[in-house]
Amino acid sequence: MAATLGLGYLSYRSAVQLARVSEASVGRSNRALGLKLIDRIEKVIIDGDRTFFQLVNLDDPREFRELWRRIVKVSPAVESVIVLSEDRRVLHLVAKLSRSALRYFRKIFVERILPDMALDKLAPNKHKHLHKKYEGAYYLMSYIRRRSAGRDYFVVLNVNLPYVLREIFREEFRELEETNSIAVTDEDEERVLYGRPLDPSESSLLFEDRFPTTLYKWRLQIAPRQIRSLSREARARRLSDVVLVGMAVGVICVGLLVLFVAMRKERRANELKSEFISNVSHELKTPLSLIRMFGELLASGRARDPATSKEYAEIIARESERLTGQIDNVLDFARIERGKDAFEMAQADLRVVVEKVADLCRYRTDQAGARLTIRMPEEPAIGPFDESAMTLLLLNLVENAIKYGVVTGGEIRVTLSRQTDGLVLRVADDGPGIADDELERIFERFYRGRAARKGEQRGSGIGLSLVKHVAEAHGGRVTVRSGLGQGAVFDVVIPAPDGPA
Ligand code: ADP
């Protein structure tokens, strides 16, 4: 059982691991795609900035302003360009803005953006970015230190972010968006700047990372379009694995249980058989040893007077009869257990059977200090019976009453009567009775009652099983009414056509 459960657990674990491995490999390739995309977008922005920086010539301020007015006007990628002196004064500011918007931008630039730029540490021709939100709007500043006519300047490009979102992202994402959902979110406010929000809790297949150099306040998220169906599939697969493994374990456990029960039954049957053999041998031995003892006494001539000899001979005759009865019981049991064919049904009178059994048992009842009373109808109780089987049936019931139900001065009542459902043979005693929980079991073959096993009375546990077989073979039944200390009443009902009884 433990091995089966272990096996079940192992195969479930390997199924789960397999699902995890395939999920992880999808996740890995997704991640590689995401990193490549981030790289490409950064390169597009940086390359664009470099191209613009190359166009900057600070030797002639007039020419500079003229050229950049045009550049800013036609190029959607640049919002404005600012040139700062080494001491951070604004020398030029060219922008495609209205007068008031320009004033607003200049104010924000000088007061807020400029102090955030790391100009001090910037080496000549080195290129840096500032990505930040000011007054609710994001800015991307791309700046460089340049030298012209022996002086240092800083050139700052204000990158047009709506253009980046609208054009660069759309262009770069186009191919991947056929199979994936893409979103760009704002790290601080969790605001979605591009695409639709993706649910990070949904699956391990979601890729999420930030742009390292340029748009570093934003994060890129990519999830396979079928992310929902993939995780649903994975869940369903896991569930079906669990169900299958559970079923297999269940079937094996049921099989083992059946095997276990069958083995127990077999063992119990074997135990009962050996008990039966020892009980039968003992039962046969008792009358045999009496016969032998009294036979030897007679042979040795120790019984001098004829009365004693007669008594010994009677004992021998009685015990021989008992022995024959017991051997018959065992043989009949084997014969009757084979089925209906073993019976020879013929019209017979049950009263004859009752009388025969009463004759056989009266002496033993007297010996036990009790009385055997018989009540029978005057009219014949005719029916199709196997006479010897019915004799065996009644003999077993009366012998049981003598063995287990006799009390000194008590009575064993054998009654034959006709009732609505047929002929009823009743054997009743005033003995200690039978416990409730044993009333069913006493009819099982080889079963002996608790009190019987403890007491001196020997038996083989086949008597009542035989009674049941015989009654049922005649289309009838046997029932018992009893309780501890209340005596026992056994009723055998045999269907018989109506007639005088
Ligand atoms: P056996 O007599 O060989 O033990 P039976 O099948 O004839 O086997 O009886 C089964 C059990 O039923 C007996 O062991 C005994 O415990 C119980 N039994 C049968 N008849 C009586 C009775 N009249 N009173 C009390 N117990 C009885």
pLDDT along the chain (501 residues), means of 10: 69 70 75 90 90 84 85 87 93 90 94 93 91 92 90 92 91 88 82 82 73 92 73 77 85 92 89 79 83 91 86 89 83 71 86 94 89 94 91 93 90 95 94 94 91 84 91 94 93 81 44
Closest C-alpha residue for ligand 1 atom 12: 442
The answer to whether 220 and 184 have CB atoms below 8 angstroms apart is yes
Question: Pick from 146, 145, 139, 163: which is nearest to 214 by CA?
Answer: 139
| Pairing between β-strand 411-419 and β-strand 422-429 as defined by DSSP bridges | antiparallel
The residue length of the chain stands at: 501
What is the 327 CA–ligand 1 centroid distance (Å)?
Answer: 18
Cα-to-chain-centroid distance, residue 382: 61
Cα-to-chain-centroid distance, residue 107: 72
Q: How far apart are CA 336 and CA 320, in angstroms?
A: 23
The answer to whether 460 and 446 have CB atoms below 8 angstroms apart is yes
Q: How far apart are CA 197 and CA 200, in angstroms?
A: 9
If DSSP codes are grouped into helix, strand and coil, which group holds residue 268? helix
The answer to whether 377 and 418 have CB atoms below 8 angstroms apart is yes
Q: Left (φ > 0), alpha (ψ -120 to 50) or beta: where does 433 sit?
A: left
Query: What angle separates helix 2-54 from helix 170-177, to the nearest 10 degrees?
Result: 150
CB 34 less than 6 A from any atom of ligand 1: no
Q: How far apart are CA 379 and CA 500, in angstroms?
A: 6
Q: How far apart are CA 258 and CA 252, in angstroms?
A: 10
Question: Pick from 144, 167, 184: which is nearest to 58 by CA?
Answer: 144
The answer to whether 141 and 158 have CB atoms below 8 angstroms apart is yes
CB 428 less than 6 A from any atom of ligand 1: no
Farthest CA pair distance, the chain: 168
What is the 179 CA–ligand 1 centroid distance (Å)?
Answer: 84
Atom of ligand 1 nearest to the CA of 400: 20
The answer to whether 227 and 203 have CB atoms below 8 angstroms apart is yes
Closest C-alpha residue for ligand 1 atom 7: 463
The strand pairing partners of 371, in sequence order, are: 411
What is the 491 CA–ligand 1 centroid distance (Å)?
Answer: 14
Closest C-alpha residue for ligand 1 atom 23: 401
CB 402 less than 6 A from any atom of ligand 1: no
The answer to whether 176 and 32 have CB atoms below 8 angstroms apart is no
Closest C-alpha residue for ligand 1 atom 27: 404
Question: Pick from 32, 79, 41: which is nearest to 219 by CA?
Answer: 41
The per-residue DSSP string of 393-409 comes to: HHHHHHHHHHHHS--TT
If DSSP codes are grouped into helix, strand and coil, which group holds residue 411? strand
Mutate to test the pocket of ligand 1, among 332, 337, 397, 404 (most ligand atoms within 8 A of CB): 404
Q: How far apart are CA 214 and CA 47, in angstroms?
A: 12
What is the 172 CA–ligand 1 centroid distance (Å)?
Answer: 96
Residue 30 parent element (H or E): helix 2-54
What is the 171 CA–ligand 1 centroid distance (Å)?
Answer: 98
CB 480 less than 6 A from any atom of ligand 1: no
Burial class (CB in 10 A: 0-12, 13-18, 19+), 447: middle
Helix/strand/coil (H, E, C) string of 155-198? EEEEECHHHHHHHHHHHHHHHHHCCEEEEEEECCCCCEEECCCC
**Considering Cα of 232, then 233, then 234, then 239, what sign does the dihedral take?**
positive
The pLDDT value recorded for residue 64 is: 85
What is the 289 CA–ligand 1 centroid distance (Å)?
Answer: 24
What is the 404 CA–ligand 1 centroid distance (Å)?
Answer: 7
The answer to whether 81 and 96 have CB atoms below 8 angstroms apart is no
Q: How far apart are CA 182 and CA 223, in angstroms?
A: 7
What DSSP character marks residue 144? E
What DSSP character marks residue 486? S
CB 463 less than 6 A from any atom of ligand 1: yes
Burial class (CB in 10 A: 0-12, 13-18, 19+), 298: middle
The answer to whether 241 and 12 have CB atoms below 8 angstroms apart is yes
Q: How far apart are CA 394 and CA 467, in angstroms?
A: 8
SS3 content of the chain, % helix, strand, coil (to 5): 55, 20, 25
What is the 233 CA–ligand 1 centroid distance (Å)?
Answer: 66
The pLDDT value recorded for residue 15 is: 66
Closest C-alpha residue for ligand 1 atom 3: 459
What is the 399 CA–ligand 1 centroid distance (Å)?
Answer: 9
| Pairing between β-strand 371-375 and β-strand 477-482 as defined by DSSP bridges | unpaired
